Amino acid sequence: MGGHPQVITPNMDRLASRGVIFTNAHCQAPVCNPSRASIMTSLYPSTSGIYFLNPDIANSPVAKENIVMPKRFQMEGYNVFGAGKLLHNGEGINETHIPNYAGQFGGFGPIPEEKLSAYPGHPLWDWGVYPERDDQMPDYKIAGWAEEQLTGKREQPFWMGVGFYRPHVPQFVSQKWFDMYPLVSLELPKTISGDLKNLSSYGSDITRLEHVSPTHEWVLNTDEWKPLVQSYLACVSFVDEQVGRVLTALDEGAYGENTYVVLFSDHGFHIGEKERHAKQSLWEDGTRIPLIIMGPGIPVGKVCNKPVQLLDIYPTLLELCNLEPDSSLEGNSLIPLLQNTEIDWPHYSRTSFGLGNFAIVSENYRFIQYSDGPEEFYDHTKDAEEWHNEINNEVYSEIIEKHRAEIPKVRHEILGKESTGHLSYMASEKNKETRK
């Protein structure tokens, strides 16, 4: 994936070597609830109105008309079950949409009585060595649940959701995972001074106002950058081992040869890039996610650089399982790319953060448009870190116009309010009106 050069993920690497990895895959919203709603309905936030941490699918007049992915497979005769974070963690949401949901197994816990870090903000924003043992972690228990499900024989085909929590904050794991990343030799993400000097006021506000994560200034002043990166990488390696446990159980069980496996995350995450931490941005680090598909008939060890989206998973699985397509789904089946990763692919990926803020990504470029008009354009063949905004470079004018044409004209109003993402969006909109 070209991410942190020191990260250790042997099991996800093993999965990638057995299938197709999409290196240019993107979420539809850099926030968990709208992203997961989009995955399960194959609808863009601008179609459903689900832009932030609320509402649930059932509260969107558009989304509730779509059959969510697990329910569709249940209708087709599949035994459907799942555990962990599959949709948003609000009370009853997973139980409503995931048949035979086994529970959260402790969610983001366990949580120490007092914060481990010095950060005075949101209680979930914490990091450090905790607890003592892996078997105290919800993700460890979820992997154990998955191992049990993959033993024995089943009369029906099955759809199984395994939702791990880490590396979501709080970034706690036991000591052995931190030992893999000594601070003295730890590399920090690449940055440049003045990275944001050409950013519009709104573009700056939308990633900085009313956010619960620490500011980069706080991280630098408290010398917490390396500990934050260390905690993130430690959590990634911990989750990688849980992925390996599930893969091994699948291989050793009855269904290793005839099961499709899809690994993905719901959004990206900054660990200092673009002078920020956490999610909720329309830049590469906020929207790009890992996506790996493995299974019978899928080429082994292939890499695809075409722009794809999380809402493509639903129609892809329908086609892989020889089920009738659903014309209401807005994603595209990835079967053509699974068959030939170099095929001409006319589609772009689209991410939104609130009403009127969009990122459009093609194979080599990223175009961002904010609700008050300012735009950004990056050439990834020359500027993978997105340090140089080329929006006014006439060399790219035709390419920019093609990306701009992908911005939807019809956009659903925002449903729900008062979540952290919505508060940051509203604060940015308020500042925009003040400047007018």
Give catalytic residue positions. Answer: 32, 88
**390, 379 contact by CB (below 8 A):** yes
CA distances from 352 to 4, 47, 275, 404 (A): 25, 11, 20, 14
Distance CA 47, CA 68 (A): 15
Q: Which run of H or E residues covers position 40?
A: helix 32-41
Q: Which two tokens stand for residue 197?
A: 């000097």
Half-sphere exposure of 139 (CA within 13 A, CB side): 25
Q: Which two tokens stand for residue 27?
A: 């979420």
Paired residues of 277 in beta bridges: 271
Dihedral sign, Cα of residue 114, residue 165, residue 226, residue 35: negative
Alpha carbon dihedral 350, 74, 95, 333, in 10-degree steps, equals -10
**50, 412 contact by CB (below 8 A):** no
Paired residues of 264 in beta bridges: 291
**62, 412 contact by CB (below 8 A):** yes
**264, 15 contact by CB (below 8 A):** no
Listed residue (143, 174, 145, 171) closest to 242, CA to CA: 143
Listed residue (159, 335, 343, 193) closest to 275, CA to CA: 193
Residue with tokens 């390996």: 244
Q: What is the DSSP letter of 355?
A: T
**287, 361 contact by CB (below 8 A):** yes
